[in-house]
Amino acid sequence: MNWKEELSKAMSLLAADPRVLFIGQSVGYPGHLLYSTLAHIGPARRLELPVMEDAQCGVSLGLFLAGWLPVSIYPRLDFLIIAANQLINHLDKWVEMSGVRPHVIIRSMVGSNNPLDPGPQHQQDHSEALRLLMPHTKIVKLTRPEDVVPFYREALAKPGPWVIIEAPPKRRGYD
């Protein structure tokens, strides 16, 4: 059992729901190893976005309001914090403002330092800080491949905002 295989299974599980739309960077085109876990999903279900982290989270909330279940992909957790305004003040607080729990799944990962060390701004783990800032959002940190499919299955089944952080313990990516 390895990360890439389990993530590919989890993405297939999500894609089986006709409401799911995958959005983000390296969703429609190669460029990050996350793409390899989505390549088997048809292009009509993947929407490539430019680098616009804050707006991407806002688009995700809008897609939910239009009836979609967005799986919003941020290749690095370091850059998900650029979307802090939308994450903390909108997505997480939507239930307080409207009584509705937006069903949005945010997917991100803690960056690897192998085969190359990309530097500290690409390998930070902000999962605990997000838990403190987002009390209405389920924050999950995956550290074992056997947990990948069950947590994505739960995120699909239980409405509300989710942030799922992939953090392989060996910090070697998905091998």
- Out of 105-114, 125-134, 166-175, pick the least confident: 166-175
Give the per-residue pLDDT at 168: 78
Is 175 part of a structural domain of the chain? Answer: no
Domain count, the chain: 1
Asked if the model's pLDDT at residue 172 lies above 60, the reply is no
Mean pLDDT of 40-66: 95
Does residue 78 sit within a domain? yes
**Cβ distance 2 to 174 under 8 Å?**
yes
* Domain contains 174: no
The identity of residue 26, as a single letter, is S
Q: What is the pTM of this model?
A: 0.92
pLDDT for 118-140, tens place per residue?
666 666 777 898 999 999 999 99
The enclosing domain of 92 has a CATH number of 3.40.50.970
Question: Is 171 inside a domain boundary?
Answer: no
Residue 172 lies in a domain: no
Q: In this predicted structure, what is the pLDDT of residue 145?
A: 93
Residue 162, in any domain of the structure = yes
33 in any annotated domain: yes
* In the chain, % of residues over pLDDT 90: 70
Q: What is the extent of the structural domain holding 117? A: 3-166
Query: Is residue 113 very low, low, confident or very high in pLDDT (cuts 50, 70, 90)?
Result: low
Q: What's the confidence (pLDDT) of residue 127? A: 84
Is 8 in contact with 37 (CB distance < 8 Å)?
yes
HEC string of the chain equals CCHHHHHHHHHHHHHCCCCEEEEECCCCCCCCHHHHHCCCCCHHHEEECCCCHHHHHHHHHHHHHCCCEEEEEECCHHHHHHHHHHHHHHHCCHHHHHCCCCCEEEEEECCCCCCCCCCHHHCCCCHHHHHHHCCCCEEEEECCHHHHHHHHHHHHHCCCEEEEEECCCCCCCCC
Q: Is the pLDDT of residue 170 over 70?
A: no
Helices H, strands E: what count in the chain?
7, 6
- 173 falls within a domain: no
